Amino acid sequence: EPPGNPGRITVIEQVHADLKASALAHLPSGKFCANAAWLVCAVIAFNLTRAAASLSGGRLAKATTSTVRRTLICIPARIASSARRITMHLPARWPWETEWNLLFDNTIHRRPPTWP
């Protein structure tokens, strides 16, 4: 580990492992341009997922992208519309409701982010 950057190598290795376990598992395709486009999309998705995890509070701040996808993105909710308003009904006693509501408040309601 370089003397001036303690811990940075560990972080980048975790990022590489996370990317390889998700979108980069589809590489190589045999075509340079396809690989380059896939890499760009994978990194954008990774960064957006990390931002969502950070804005959802402390429990998911260091979670892998697959955990964030499983807990915040792929949720079993029911969408209903009434009086030109869209309502999302989350499951009763869903364990990630607090984190999802915090993410919603920090992004959609456009309030300054709150940190628990």
C-alpha span between 115 and 77 (Å, rounded): 25
pLDDT of 114 reads 63
pLDDT of 112 reads 65
pLDDT of 82 reads 87
C-alpha span between 111 and 113 (Å, rounded): 6
Ranges of each domain in the chain: 8-107
pLDDT of 33 reads 92
pLDDT of 6 reads 62
pLDDT of 77 reads 87
pLDDT of 51 reads 92
Residues in Cβ contact with 79 at an 8 Å cutoff, skipping those fewer than 6 apart: 86, 87, 88, 89
The residues of the chain scoring below 50 in pLDDT are none
pLDDT of 44 reads 94
Q: Are 48 and 61 in contact (CB under 8 A)?
A: no
